[in-house]
Amino acid sequence: MNDYTDYLQDVFAQFGPVSARRMFGGYGLYHQGLMFALVADDVLYLKTDDGNVGDFEREELEPFLYHKGGREVRMSYYRAPEAIFEDQELAAEWAGGAFAAALRAKAGKR
């Protein structure tokens, strides 16, 4: 882990234990063994689906995008709101929504 992912453990303290695993030049953030967020270039993105993406869109937060083979790829993660870094209760709410999206995605793969 790096300093930023260590810091995120404090941000999500009320949500519960969070671990980070290195992946593709960034990190995946996990809770109870399930990835609910990712970190790219020290920017936090939370998992989204139809159940919570509207919350991110209302806040005008940007989706996580990367380039592959000359095209832009959009993933089901959106930038976390800045307010969560100052409010652990709010961070727990947003993380809970992202974790719920990750649970729904996992259930859909069965």
pLDDT, tens digit, 9 for 90 and up, residues 59-69? 999 999 988 88
Q: Note the pLDDT of residue 25.
A: 83
Band (pLDDT 50/70/90 cuts) for residue 27 is: very high
Q: Note the pLDDT of residue 66.
A: 87
Strands 71-79, 43-47: pairing kind:
antiparallel
**For the chain, what percent of residues have pLDDT higher than 70?**
98
Instruction: Give me the mean pLDDT over the 37-58 stretch.
Output: 96
- Cα–Cα nearest to 5, from 40, 34, 33: 40
Q: Note the pLDDT of residue 84.
A: 98
Q: Note the pLDDT of residue 82.
A: 97
Q: What percent helix, strand, coil does the chain show, rounded to 5?
A: 35, 35, 30
Average pLDDT, the chain: 94
Q: Note the pLDDT of residue 1.
A: 63
